[in-house]
Amino acid sequence: MIDMQDVFKKYPNGVVAANGINVHIAQGEFVYVVGPSGAGKSTFIKMMYREEKPTQGTITINGIDLGKLKDSKVPLLRRNIGVVFQDFKLLPTLTVYENVAFALEVIEEEPKKIKKRVMETLDLVNLKHKARMLPTELSGGEQQRVSIARSIVNSPKVMIADEPTGNLDPETSWDIMNLFDEINNRGTTIVMATHNRDIVNTMRHRVIAIEGGQIIRDEQRGEYGYES
């Protein structure tokens, strides 16, 4: 599913964010990526949806070699990857429904399909009743659920989340994690960078720990392993 071989990434300013990463993530896995700030978690994740290109090494997703992928084909790759961020990245002038539909409109999906898919997805994240509200009228957890709905509305095979609970209180974080678990149970691969120790230690999944651009630990049903 996701394969990285000897991946190096050096930024123009000299920072080495990936220093020989080898990893294999199978279809349907749920993986936590942990490590201190600046360890290279974000780069690790960004290389998967080709926001960053590695300086060396090969990355394969769904059989697509990202190194050989033309810039013009990147959009097609992204249609198979859902991405969720700490800051939700919702459009404040659009309603909940429109925010989710936006993801399908801009890839020129048929209007009939859009309506059906958006309503199904809003149902899944439990926000059908708030479809007409604006993001500013929602709580943080609800906003994150909208953003999750947007990322899965096109049924991607992989979901990538960068600190999805970073801005949420513990209770809301658990709601969001249950939602991720449900999505994972439907067969979607999930790769999540997180600093949330409780979640990692309670909802046990594979843990990849990154430090200094290297994988220093990779355990099935692992622990967070850091103090905070």
Partner 1 sequence: MTSSEVNTDMKARTLRRHMKESMKNLGRNGWMTFASVSAVTVTLILVGVFFVIMMNLNQVATTIEEDVEIRVHIDLAATEEDQKVMKEKIEKLARVESVEFSPKEAELDGLIDSLGEEGEAFKLFEQDNPLNDVFIVKTKNPQDTMTVAKEIEKMEYASKVKYGQDMVENLFDFINVSRNVGIVLIIGLLFTAMFLISNTIKITIIARKREIEIMRLVGATNSFIRWPFFLEGLMLGVLGAIIPIVLISFLYHYAYGYIAPRLEGHFIQILEFNPFIYQVAAVLILLGALIGVWGSLMSVRKFLKV
Instruction: Kindly state the smallest distance separating residue 77's Cβ from partner 1, in Å.
Output: 7
- Match 């095979």 to its residue by tokens: 157
**Footprint of partner 1 (CB under 8 A):** 49-50, 71-72, 74-79, 83, 89, 91, 102-103, 105-108, 110-111, 150-151, 154
Instruction: Kindly state the smallest distance separating residue 151's Cβ from partner 1, in Å.
Output: 8
Distance CA 67, CA 74 (A): 11
Question: Closest CB to partner 1 among 78 and 197?
Answer: 78
Instruction: Kindly state the smallest distance separating residue 128's Cβ from partner 1, in Å.
Output: 21
Backbone angles phi, psi at 16, to 5 degrees: -100, 110
Pairing of strands 189-193, 30-34: parallel
Taking each helix axis from N to C end, the angle separating 96-105 and 140-152, rounded to the nearest 10 degrees, works out to 20
Question: Closest CB to partner 1 among 4 and 153?
Answer: 153
Distance CA 190, CA 31 (A): 6
Question: Closest CB to partner 1 among 110 and 171?
Answer: 110
Instruction: Kindly state the smallest distance separating residue 147's Cβ from partner 1, in Å.
Output: 10
Instruction: Kindly state the smallest distance separating residue 78's Cβ from partner 1, in Å.
Output: 4
Question: Closest CB to partner 1 among 42 and 151?
Answer: 151
Distance CA 222, CA 205 (A): 6
Question: Closest CB to partner 1 among 191 and 215?
Answer: 191
Question: Closest CB to partner 1 among 50 and 130?
Answer: 50
Instruction: Kindly state the smallest distance separating residue 93's Cβ from partner 1, in Å.
Output: 9
Distance (Å) of CA 37 to CA 5, 124, 192: 23, 33, 15
Instruction: Give the DSSP per-residue string, 59-100.
Output: EEETTEETTT--GGGHHHHHTTEEEEETT----TTS-HHHHH
